[in-house]
Amino acid sequence: NAGVTQTPKFQVLKTGQSMTLQCAQDMNHEYMSWYRQDPGMGLRLIHYSVGAGITDQGEVPNGYNVSRSTTEDFPLRLLSAAPSQTSVYFCASRLTGVGYGYTFGSGTRLTVV
Amino acid sequence: QKEVEQDPGPLSVPEGAIVSLNCTYSNSAFQYFMWYRQYSRKGPELLMYTYSSGNKEDGRFTAQVDKSSKYISLFIRDSQPSDSATYLCAMSAPSQGAQKLVFGQGTRLTINP
């Protein structure tokens, strides 16, 4: 049981490049989310999903795309990287229903130059 | 004004002290309240989950929710150096199915041996 696995752990991109941050969970969790963490800002929700085929926007969705074709995987795509997207990205998942907190991955540190 | 306010600290206390961490919020619809602990360069991990008002105790940790004051607290008794971390409060509303968490900035705590 690996929990929530994020790859890569570190990435440097040039402005304008695109890339996909991978997230996989093996706990059969229906809910999955992507957050970004910036100094002094806490964690902010980018996109979330309540099940395969269902996604919705969070607080800061601009510049990011998601899809959910399976329960296990929830990739985050950066369409055209900008320096403002330099951040630490966390994927999280949890069971359906109340009383369950999110389990977080270990994060991807992204720098856009 | 942010929906959730948390003093970022840093907070430094001697080993064995009682630690009090707090958050205030403005959205009266919040019903689910969580505390996460985040070690340096790691993902957040769930410490406490509380529904609506009241207290919840788990070992050395006690979470309190005062909905009338829109104020939540986390108390750590007999603090240990291993408790040194950033503590994040998070909350969500039933209308959002508790999927969308709103986080505080996090308080950096150091326990000195």
Structure tokens at B39: 């070690």
Average pLDDT, chain A: 94
Q: For residue A100, what pLDDT band results from cuts at 50, 70 and 90? A: confident
Dihedral angle, C-alpha B90, B95, B98, B100, nearest 10 °: -60
* Across A27-55, average pLDDT: 93
- Kindly report the three-state secondary structure assignment for every residue of B56-85: EEECCEEEEEECCCCEEEEEECCCCHHHCE
> How high is the pLDDT of residue A99?
77
Q: Does A33 touch chain B (CB under 8 A)?
A: yes
Rounded Cα distance between A47 and B77, Å, is 36
Size of interface A-B (CB pairs under 8 A): 57
pLDDT (tens digit, 9 = 90+) per residue, B24-62?
999 999 999 999 999 999 999 999 999 888 899 999 999
Is the pLDDT reported for residue B95 higher than 80? no
B97 band by pLDDT with thresholds 50, 70 and 90: low
State chain B's mean pLDDT as an integer.
93
Query: What does the pLDDT read at residue B8?
Result: 81
By C-alpha distance, the chain A residue nearest B90 is: A43
**Å from A100 to nearest chain B CA?**
8
- Most distant pair of Cα atoms in chain B: their distance: 44
A29 phi and psi angles, rounded to 5 deg = -80, 135
Interface test with B, best of A36, A43, A56, A59 (most B CBs within 10 A): A43
Q: 3-state DSSP: chain B helix, strand, coil percent, rounded to 5?
A: 5, 55, 40
Q: Are strands A10-13 and A108-112 parallel, antiparallel or unpaired?
A: parallel
A107/B100 touch (CB, cutoff 8 Å), yes or no: no
Q: Which of A78, A72, A26 is CA-nearest to residue A47?
A: A78
- Find the CB nearest A40 among B8, B41, B42: B8
